[in-house]
């Protein structure tokens, strides 16, 4: 099986860590604090009463929320839905009590973190150049100017992660989507409490794509989540667009920026090596699907 992050370019941002500007880099499914040689040692020192550094706080927050479906609720639905990031929201991390247990959306069961740990992203593979789609350039988040009122430390952490620049929040969304796609594949019981959240957050993203693609701002969309082994379809009846897609579409297509390509809607995307992609697409007339093959240049 291919690593879920194939086709996702590295993403990088810079945050204020103490008196320094430090880089956080997402690559091959994992977020790393590349200006800290040994984050584990820093965690150990902090546990003994030393000062926690912001980079490690962000890494810890990431690991607590990389399966949190609330990330999908709060994060952007696409280019037409930017978050209003005007402050370094990581500044809120140190102001609330630490979280002893993995976070989950209120009323939902804990995120399936054990399953997430099995993802290749967690293998801490050696950072290297990965072929794929270009991501946004790294940038330094502006200094703190304001705060979002938050109800809990968990909220604070999610907001801090979504306020990171450089495309890193998009990678968090991709991580969460991939984790839950795996749960759908396995028909995991953890889905029961999160199904409505996942369904709605995919519906919103799909609707945003279809509105932009079809140029119809008020298009009504019905989404049925299907088994990933079944063929995805898109059809229209009485003015309503009906999509039958697996939840994996969010991770495999939308998160990679492949939802529309060459004026066509992408139902599914497959690759063997992360360089050559076979995309099942259809045109705005919603006619029969056609295959589009995309090859990226070798790194």
Q: What is the dihedral of CA 150, 145, 136, 75, to 10 degrees?
A: 20
By beta-carbon proximity to another protein, the closer residue of 41 and 83 is 83
Asked if 74 touches another protein (CB under 8 A), the answer is yes
- Sequence-ordered list of residues with C-beta below 8 angstroms from that of 246, at least 6 positions apart, any chain: 181, 184, 225, 226, 227, 228, 230, 232
Asked if 196 touches another protein (CB under 8 A), the answer is yes
Asked if 187 touches another protein (CB under 8 A), the answer is no
Q: Which stretch binds another protein (CB under 8 A): 31-39, 190-198, 226-234, 277-285?
A: 190-198
Among 55, 162, 178, 245, binds another protein (CB under 8 A): 162
From residue 244, give the alpha-carbon distance in Å to each of 26, 33, 75, 268, 280.
Answer: 31, 39, 23, 11, 14
- Tell me how far, at minimum, the Cβ of 175 lies from another protein, in Å: 19
CB-CB contact of 268 with 253 (8 Å): yes
CB-CB contact of 201 with 69 (8 Å): yes
CB-CB contact of 10 with 27 (8 Å): yes
In the window 75-94, what residues touch another protein (CB under 8 A)?
Answer: 77, 80-84
Among 97, 151, 287, 297, binds another protein (CB under 8 A): 151
Asked if 208 touches another protein (CB under 8 A), the answer is yes
Radius of gyration of the chain (CA): 19
Q: Which stretch binds another protein (CB under 8 A): 57-65, 67-75, 227-235, 249-257?
A: 67-75
In the window 226-245, what residues touch another protein (CB under 8 A)?
Answer: none
- Tell me how far, at minimum, the Cβ of 201 lies from another protein, in Å: 7
The single residue listed with the structure tokens 């204020």 is 16
Angle at 245 (CA atoms; ends 242, 249), nearest 5 degrees:
130
| Per-position x/- string for 97-126, each x denoting binding to another protein as judged by CB under 8 A, each - no binding | --------xxx-------------------
Asked if 70 touches another protein (CB under 8 A), the answer is yes
Asked if 258 touches another protein (CB under 8 A), the answer is no
Asked if 150 touches another protein (CB under 8 A), the answer is yes
Q: Which stretch binds another protein (CB under 8 A): 22-30, 74-82, 251-259, 274-282?
A: 74-82
Q: Which stretch binds another protein (CB under 8 A): 90-98, 150-158, 170-178, 279-287?
A: 150-158
By beta-carbon proximity to another protein, the closer residue of 84 and 295 is 84
Helical axes 191-214 vs 168-186, angle rounded to 10°: 120
Angle at 250 (CA atoms; ends 211, 140), nearest 5 degrees:
90
Q: Quick one: 59 exposed, middle or buried, by C-beta within 10 A (0-12, 13-18, 19+)?
A: buried
Q: Can you list the alpha helix ranges (DSSP code H) found in 132-190?
A: 153-162, 168-186
Among 1, 48, 218, 238, binds another protein (CB under 8 A): 218
The partner residues of 235 in beta bridges, in order of sequence, read 242
- Tell me how far, at minimum, the Cβ of 207 lies from another protein, in Å: 6
- Tell me how far, at minimum, the Cβ of 79 lies from another protein, in Å: 12
* Interface positions with another protein (CB under 8 A): 70, 73-74, 77, 80-84, 105-107, 148-151, 155, 159, 162, 195-197, 199-201, 203-204, 207-208, 211, 217-218
């Amino acid at each position: 099986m291919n690593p879920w992050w194939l086709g996702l370019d590295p993403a990088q941002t810079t945050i204020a860590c103490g008196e320094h500007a430090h880089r956080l880099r997402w690559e091959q499914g994992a977020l790393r604090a590349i200006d800290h040689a040994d984050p584990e040692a820093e965690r150990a020192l902090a546990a003994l009463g030393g000062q926690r550094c912001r980079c490690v706080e962000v890494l810890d927050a990431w690991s607590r929320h990389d399966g949190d479906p609330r990330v999908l609720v709060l994060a952007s639905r696409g280019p037409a839905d930017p978050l209003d990031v005007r402050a370094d929201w990581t500044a809120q991390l140190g102001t609330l009590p630490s979280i002893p247990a993995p976070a989950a959306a209120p009323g939902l069961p804990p995120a399936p973190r054990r399953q997430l740990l099995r993802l290749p992203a967690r293998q801490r593979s050696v950072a290297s150049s990965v072929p794929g789609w270009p991501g946004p350039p790294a940038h330094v988040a502006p200094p703190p100017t304001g705060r979002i009122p938050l109800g809990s430390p968990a909220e604070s952490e999610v907001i801090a992660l979504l306020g990171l620049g450089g495309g890193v929040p998009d990678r968090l969304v991709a991580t969460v989507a991939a984790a839950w796609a795996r749960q759908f594949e396995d028909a995991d019981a953890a889905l029961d409490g999160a199904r409505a959240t996942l369904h709605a957050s995919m519906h919103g993203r799909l609707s945003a794509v279809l509105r932009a693609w079809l140029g119809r701002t008020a298009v009504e969309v019905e989404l049925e989540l299907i088994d990933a082994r079944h063929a995805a379809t898109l059809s229209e009846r009485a003015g309503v667009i009906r999509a039958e897609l697996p939840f994996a579409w969010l991770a495999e297509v939308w998160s990679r920026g492949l939802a529309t390509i060459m004026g066509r809607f992408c139902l599914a995307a497959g690759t063997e090596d992360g360089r050559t992609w076979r995309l099942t697409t259809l045109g705005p007339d919603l006619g029969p699907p056609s295959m589009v093959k995309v090859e990226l240049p070798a790194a």
